[in-house]
Structure 1
């Protein structure tokens, strides 16, 4: 249970930080060339706060089924930024 609380804390902090700085986060996403930043950001906040942290993780909703979703979500969140990172790192 303690491990689940630690994992949930990561997503709760990230989700509430995005919620508190919505315009800045959306602006950052737009500067990297991501389309529909408001929709993507809202979806990310909902997933981080509502689905992952609270209902599944803290309440122990089939944690063995949820755990593969965390790395999948991390990869899906990182993929759009890879193209922007390539542009920033190319000289």
Structure 2
């Protein structure tokens, strides 16, 4: 009986070790705050266009470079003469929405 018990426990230990070693897929949510420096020589429309381009570029870059990211929250802040104001806030973009 002792041999069967040892064999059973050995099998259980080997299986439990294998199960704990299996890598699990980890969903990752990222939050980014990006600061856009600007001067008063640009028009408001130009500033908004630059903000939209920066947001699209950042989303494309992060989803392309990191396949573990499932969603991204993005806030773009504008900085001028030491003052920082929010220009755009994207609450959450999932990978499926991005595609």
Determine if the TM-score, normalized by the shorter chain, exceeds 0.5. Answer: no
Asked which structure has the greater CA Rg, the reply is: 2
User: Taking structure 2 as the reference length, what is the TM-score of the superposition?
Assistant: 0.28
Which structure has more RCO (C-alpha within 8 Å, separation ≥ 6)? 1
Higher percent of residues as strand: 2
Higher percent of residues as helix: 1
User: Taking structure 1 as the reference length, what is the TM-score of the superposition?
Assistant: 0.30
